[in-house]
Amino acid sequence: MTAELTNLTASEARRRLDRREVSALELTEAHLTRIERLEPHLHAFITVTAEGARAQAREADRRIAAGESAALTGIPVALKDILCTVDAPTTAASNILRGYQSPYDATVVRRLREQGAVFVGKTNTDEFAMGSSTENSAFFVTRNPWDLSRVPGGSSGGSAAAVAAGEAPLALGSDTGGSIRQPAGFCGVVGLKPTYGRVSRYGLLAFASSLDQIGPFARSVTDVALLLAAISGHDPCDATSVALPVPDYAAALERDIRGMRIGIPREYQVEGMDPEVARTVRDALAELERLGAELVEVSLPHTTYALATYYIIAPAEASANLARYDGVKYGLSIQEETLLDAYLQTRGQGFGPEVKRRIMLGTYALSSGYYDAYYVKAQKVRTLIKRDFDQAFEQVDVIASPTSPTVAFGIGERVDDPIQMYLADIFTIPANMAGLPGIAVPCGFAHGLPVSLQLVGRAFDEVTLLQVAYAYEQATAWHTQRPPLDALLADAPSGGDEG
């Protein structure tokens, strides 16, 4: 019974709950049992909130019995541990916030509570969402459910791994340069970065405020549509959230994609592309063509500079955002004789190497004499990148590419080579720079590991993006594939001593 319940999509679980074939408490217990079994090997969760989940499940059962249920009432959800929650620690996987308890919920958390969702825990992440592998967590490394010797991607690797492994049917992550789409691709699940401004960032521990966006993970496009609808909408607490109506994404999924034009950027034939990944993505594009879409070559000439531009703008914003972690108001506080020494010791011991690297990069780019040469120039290039997309979308409805140039790489393989690590996000970063929505959808396997198709859409046109993703998903069976965890666990050592 447990295995059956943890294999359900959220939509399937909704139907079972509404027909009273299973209770929210039974569904929650099944997922908590699976978490207990898998976590010694997978390490997807920093905090498991078992008792809170049971209480939420009982309340969900009351609401269902009273006919008061919403789309996500009783559905287990995992939350990336950079989303503030009043009833569980919010650590950003950093020693500087180890054990920190927020006095308020993030807006997306509050909206899910209002729907009656069940929170099973807070998932692991690269520290302050800075990374592409979840190896930068101060606590431990999350493992890929398809191969426990490989990374799940990052920074939302814990959320992606939890959904892929059946520890939760839904999860939230955040995406600053690919941190939802890339781990979704590595773990063989669906992940969506909404348009910047579609979802409130209030209560998200900031990395780069002009790039960060919260979004959903699920095992189907339908489930992503349901979760996106639940968290979207204007929020007066976030001045960057946009006051636009929230469509019924799930109801709009089944539109025929015949005649839609799908752009293929000629600049995305990059050095270092795995030939098997490229072949698998070509097959996916051929399937979209078979479904009636037209493939059109487009040019995004300035996306060549997106990676370099991102690693000026994002660290610059991180340098400013992380200045608040000084040991004075909250978090780690190391007392010294002088205030300067207290700052130095608190931040020196509290932040990990990658966070320090990005703070230094950002502080340098913002410093006197370098601001115009680096930060201002990067912002100008960012404008050119957005213009490229604007021009492309005059010709096409969505733009398609691989989500990542390779499959999931080995744990430890790139930790000493930050440039190679950064290149894992080469296809995902441009959408963040332009503020556009993007979705990663399973499209096959290479070397026995998941490969993912990325689709990028016009600003606030998640509907079209989801329609194309849904059409592809329904025409193929890749989204039904599950990691062979039972076989992997038979040979795997347990333990949580990484990091």
User: Quick one: average pLDDT of 446-462?
Assistant: 98
Least confident of 14-23, 148-157, 365-374, 415-424: 415-424
Q: What confidence category does residue 491 fall into, taking pLDDT thresholds of 50, 70 and 90?
A: low
| Alpha-carbon torsion angle 340, 343, 344, 348, nearest 10 | 180
From 227, 71, 148, 218, select the one nearest 483 (Cα to Cα).
148
What confidence tens digit (pLDDT) does each residue in 350-364 have? 999 999 999 999 999
For position 498, what pLDDT does the model report? 41
User: Quick one: average pLDDT of 316-336?
Assistant: 94
Query: pTM for this structure?
Result: 0.96
The answer to whether 377 is a known catalytic residue is no
Q: How would you class 95 by CB atoms within 10 Å of its CB: exposed for 0-12, middle for 13-18, buried for 19 or more?
A: middle
User: Quick one: average pLDDT of 222-246?
Assistant: 98
The one catalytic residue among 23, 133, 179, 200: 179
Q: Omega into 174 within 30° of 0, i.e. cis?
A: no
The one catalytic residue among 80, 94, 220, 404: 80
Q: What confidence category does residue 497 fall into, taking pLDDT thresholds of 50, 70 and 90?
A: very low
The answer to whether 179 is a known catalytic residue is yes
CA distance 479 to 24: 25
| Percent of all residues in the chain with a pLDDT value above 90, rounded to a whole number | 92
User: Quick one: average pLDDT of 423-451?
Assistant: 96
CA distance 212 to 447: 32
What confidence tens digit (pLDDT) does each residue in 107-139 have? 999 999 999 999 999 999 999 999 999 999 999
CA distance 70 to 64: 9
Q: Is the dihedral of CA 222, 175, 198, 460 positive or negative?
A: negative
In the chain, the domains with their CATH numbers are 2-260+462-491 (3.90.1300.10)
The answer to whether 122 is a known catalytic residue is no
The one catalytic residue among 132, 155, 156, 404: 155
Residues near 140 by beta carbon (within 8 Å), at least 6 away in sequence: 43, 124, 496, 497, 498, 499
Q: How many CB atoms lie within 10 A of CB 282?
A: 13
Identify the bridge partners of residue 440 per DSSP, sorted by sequence position. Answer: 191, 454
What confidence tens digit (pLDDT) does each residue in 256-294 have? 999 999 999 998 877 789 999 999 999 999 999 999 999
